[in-house]
């Protein structure tokens, strides 16, 4: 667990339900993607990029890259939490990593690193973050993530 994860509330908390299991009895990559997507919105909200911001500005966020690594299977009944580290902030993009962990013991289940762009939805192009949001995000960057 990185230093940032130790000091942050999870960006997602949930449970694995029986109907989410595949024919091998565990969840598959589609469910991991759903969990990471839900964590995106929890994380964006903490950065000031929540629904009120998107509705009032006409701006949004778009994933440019997504790279997942799977460490452990999840089974029905497992409770999980996602912790998110902000790794890099640029004028129009951010790079961050979600760490999906078992709630009971903090064991790492999967990670997913994203690069996402701030965009103007009307022209479908990346645009700079507002200065106040950019400043806040830069203050949250993890200096030396594990």
pLDDT tens, residue by residue, 65-111: 999 999 999 999 999 999 999 999 999 999 999 999 999 999 999 99
pLDDT tier at 146, thresholds 50, 70, 90 = low
122 SS3 class: coil
Nearest CA-CA partner of 82 in 110, 61, 63, 62:
110
| Mean of per-residue pLDDT scores for the chain | 92
CA distance 4 to 27: 27
CA distance 56 to 90: 23
pTM above threshold 0.85? yes
- Tell me which H or E stretch contains 102: strand 93-102
**Digit-coded pLDDT (tens) for 99-144:** 999 999 999 999 999 999 999 999 999 999 999 999 999 999 987 6
What was the pLDDT predicted at 143? 74
3-138 CATH pick, 3.40.80.10, 3.10.129.10, 3.40.50.2000, 3.40.50.300 = 3.10.129.10
């Amino acid at each position: 667990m990185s230093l940032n994860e130790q000091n942050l509330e999870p960006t997602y908390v949930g449970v694995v339900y029986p109907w989410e299991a595949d024919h091998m009895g565990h969840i598959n990559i589609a469910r991991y993607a759903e969990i990471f997507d839900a964590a995106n919105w929890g994380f964006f909200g903490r950065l000031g990029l929540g629904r009120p911001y998107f509705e009032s500005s006409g701006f949004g966020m778009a994933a440019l890259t997504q790279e997942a690594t799977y460490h452990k299977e999840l089974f029905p009944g497992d409770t999980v939490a996602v912790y998110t580290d902000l790794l890099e902030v640029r004028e129009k993009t951010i790079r961050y990593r979600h760490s999906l962990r078992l709630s009971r013991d903090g064991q790492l289940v999967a990670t997913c690193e994203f690069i996402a762009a701030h965009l103007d939805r009307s022209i479908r192009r990346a645009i700079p973050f507002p200065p106040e949001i950019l400043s806040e995000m830069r203050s949250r960057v993890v200096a030396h993530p594990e």
